[in-house]
Amino acid sequence: MSNKQTLSFHVSGMHCASCASNTTRKLSKAPGVTSASVNYANEQATVTINDQETSIEKLADAVKSLGYKAHFEADTEVADKERAKELKSLKNKLIVSGVLAAILMMSMIPGLPEIFHNPWLLWLLATPIQFWAGQRFYKGAWSGLKNRTTNMDTLVALGTSVAYFYSAMVTVFGQWFAERGIETHVYFEASAAIIAFILLGKFLEIRAKAQTSSAIKELLNLQAKTALIKKSGEWVEVAIDMVKVDDILLVKPGQKIPVDGEVVKGQTSIDESMVTGESLPVSKTVGDSVVGATINQSGSIEIKATKIGSETMLANIIRLVKEAQGSRPPIQALVDTIAAYFVPVVIVTALITFTIWMLIGPEPRFLFALVSMINVLIIACPCALGLATPTSLMVGMGKGARLGVLIKDAQALEVANKIKAVVFDKTGTLTEGKPKVQQAIFIKKSAQQQILSSIKAVEELSHHPLAQSLVEFAQVNLDKKTPFLTVSDFKDISGKGVQAQVGKQQLLIGNEKLLADHQVNISAEIKNQALALKEKGQTLVFMSVDKKMEALFSIADGLKESSLEVVKSLKQDGIASIMLTGDNQQTAEAIAREVGIEEIIAEVLPADKERVVRELRKKHQVVAMVGDGINDAPALATADVGIAMGGGTDVAIESAGITLLRSDISLVPVAIKLSKVTMKNIKQNLFWAFAYNTVLIPVAMGALYPVWGVLLNPMLAGAAMAFSSVSVVFNALRLKTIKL
């Protein structure tokens, strides 16, 4: 029996998108690996394995064979540590290479003392840049060669090496060339400047990339670092990772709740804005649950730890954000394919360029052809292509997490950009989800207390929101002397109500369909009263005892304040709003009129919601479903994009591609707008990356020479290549400032 699991780990040492593509292919071919994906932007690898056929060690070896390093530590700061280490090394090499390159470039200035033009001095200054500062390019190129792959390092190593070694040959054999009338020139300053420019670009890129993952850092900073735990009757401060399930913890006023738990002593108010977005504190007493990282405000409480470490709500949010940032949208597939073939195509293009200019180029042909070939090798940039999508995704999803919109994967983000219609569940989504009994009609007034007592006993066994409202109504209106009733044969009939035995009496509590199924007669008077209540938008609950109608309750659930604005906002964006509910048609229509929804699908059983959503997809092409209950889960999974309310059930949240961290429907248009601006940003990046390579590679080949007699300087090629990657990252960072 196979035992599949998904692992995520950090990969350090990658220099470009081709590195990530090569690593993906290497991991995919490893024994026991069913799928693999490596994200260059956040340097994360996600691998699905059969742990009976492979191991962490084998995966690490596969990554190591390419010249990179895999980090499987649970420490979430590994990436930051590795990035800081790389930045420090880059900074040192950048300073040295920058100073030496500046001196070398002075050789291009006429009129300076001869020493600045001495090729032997230039060679001496260029050598540490080429082999010390440029070591990373040679290592990367060699690893690629060993594994029969190519990457950006291959291009840089080839281009600068050609310039360096040609210059060295000219320096040593200069007299030989001069005697034969062959014009020569050294390019030490070009190779040195190229390496310095690329190192500068890489330094800026890594620093900028660090900002793209700031959302994760902010979430991590929310966690408490220590906890007060009860040991041998005393409170002892320990590291948060020492806390175990069922431990008793003390939380003082002003402190963060260390882990998810349950209050066992004391009462207080807690700031849960981190989770709910609500600014008002929430009262907590014995038996109430608390969420880790929320802030205790007023009183000291003792809590029992129920979820720790990776099981806490905050840890799950962080995990989902990281997984989402590392996921790939469908648009990335084309980019990955291009990146895989990019470097070999560039090398072939460079050789073709050299050959053409050697045949038809101006004198000195060899120098002209050589410079053109170097330009092609240097200016081509697979990094810009590789960074275009993942950097935008990371920033966009990070922004979403800050706003309370948790996007589970990149596909959901891409599809949300195309939404044409949003299907809303009514109860708990458009409405508050706290229905209250508005009116009670008893056939026999004398039996009121008995009926209320029976309703309370039966509906306490149900989890339906309407059941809770009936229980609350009964509790308020019951005499305190009412005896406890025994309930047996309780049945929850989906979409209709409940059936139960109370003593010797059979009770039916539910909608009109339930009573009809059991041949319960409803008088014309009650039907007329029911119709009038329906027209007011109220939900009706009928009750019968031994197949005799005994009571009618009208229940109403108030609209959320934001529902009207949400529907209006969606309409302005050309997105239709649809209400899908199990409630009766009249009630649904009344609510729809109030909120401004034109398309209504009512009296839908939970089992049919999936089918209805599937039909709506055919009609509206791309459909989102917003819901919060267990009965919404199949529909959420069937929709093109499922949007779960944060206060909903776990199964609903699992079924959805987007989760609203708080039960705030106004986040629905925010999520859609976030998708639109992120996808627009991705398209801008891809356009720039493709345009850059499409325009500048021909320029590097010498396309401008026949028209204007212009040949690109290799140093400018290096600068352009560095700028292309940096510009893509900085464009992605603009998403942080966009208002939604």
The pLDDT of residue 599 is: 92
Q: Which residue has the tokens 């594994």?
A: 147
Q: Check residue 1 and give its pLDDT.
A: 43
Asked if residue 217 has pLDDT above 80, the reply is: no
Q: What is the pLDDT of residue 467?
A: 85
Q: What is the rounded CA–CA span in Å between residue 477 and residue 96?
A: 84
Measured at the CA of 416, the angle between CA 635 and CA 689, to 5 degrees, comes to 150
Contact 244, 305 (CB under 8 A): yes
Whether the per-residue pLDDT at 326 is higher than 60: the answer is: no
Q: What is the pLDDT of residues 53-84, one digit of tens each?
A: 788 888 888 888 888 888 876 545 666 677 78
Cis peptide before 606 (omega within 30 of 0): no
Who contacts 691 (Cβ-Cβ below 8 Å, separation ≥6)? none
User: Cα torsion for 175, 180, 183, 184, to the nearest 10°?
Assistant: -40
Structure confidence at residue 181 (pLDDT): 67
4-12 and 69-71 as β-strands: parallel, antiparallel, unpaired?
antiparallel
**For residue 355, pLDDT beyond 90:** yes
**What's residue 566's pLDDT?**
93
Average pLDDT estimate for 106-133: 86
Per-residue pLDDT at 685 exceeds 50: yes
Contact 395, 212 (CB under 8 A): yes
Its sign, for the CA torsion 168, 171, 172, 174, is: positive
What pLDDT does residue 548 have? 92
Question: In b/e form, how buried is each residue of 248-272, taking b as 16+ CB within 10 angstroms?
Answer: bbbbeeebbbbbbbebeebebbbbb
- Which residues share a beta bridge with 425? 580
Position 462 scores a pLDDT of 80
Model confidence band, residue 277 (pLDDT cutoffs 50, 70, 90)? very low
Q: Record the tokens describing residue 250, joined without a space.
A: 């003390």
Q: Tokens 């880059």 label which residue?
A: 90
Mean pLDDT check: name the lowest of 321-330, 350-359, 498-507, 602-611: 321-330
Pick the catalytic residue from 153, 271, 409, 425.
425
Q: What average pLDDT does range 134-156 have in this prediction?
A: 81
Mean pLDDT check: name the lowest of 30-44, 93-107, 496-510, 645-659: 645-659
The pLDDT assigned to 100 comes to 92
Provide mean pLDDT across the span 447-460.
89
**What is d(CA 12, CA 70) in angstroms, rounded to the nearest whole number?**
7
Sheet holding 505-510, edge to edge: 436-442, 548-556, 539-545, 505-510, 497-502, 487-493
Active site residue 425: yes
Q: Mean pLDDT for the chain? A: 82
What is the mean pLDDT of the segment spanning 627-653?
71
Which pLDDT score is estimated for 382? 67
Name the phi and psi angles at 256, rounded to 5.
Answer: -80, 145
Query: What pLDDT does residue 359 have?
Result: 93
Vertex 355, ends 351 and 356: CA angle to 5°?
120
For 528, phi then psi, to 5°, come to: -65, -40
Q: Which residues of 24-161 form beta strands (DSSP E)?
A: 33-39, 44-50, 69-71
107 Cβ contact partners less than 8 Å away, ≥ 6 residues apart: 116, 117, 122, 188, 189
Give me the count of residues in the chain: 740
For the beta carbon of residue 124, count every other beta carbon within 10 angstroms: 12
As a whole number of angstroms, the distance between CA 623 and CA 39 comes to: 29
pLDDT at 332 (0 to 100): 64
Of 171-175, 314-318, 730-734, the least confident: 314-318
Question: Minimal CA–CA distance to 634: which of 617, 658, 661, 654?
Answer: 654
Q: Would the pLDDT of 650 be above 70? A: no
* pLDDT band at residue 327 using 50, 70 and 90 as cut-offs: low
Tell me the pLDDT tens digit for each residue of 114-126: 887 888 999 999 9
Label residues 185-208 b or e (16+ Cβ within 10 Å = b).
ebbbbbbbbbbbbbbbbbbbbbeb
Residue 536 DSSP SS3: coil
H helix and E strand count, the chain: 27, 26
> pLDDT digits over 561-571, tens only?
889 999 999 99
Cα 66-72-73 angle, rounded to 5 deg: 140
Percent of the chain with pLDDT over 70: 88
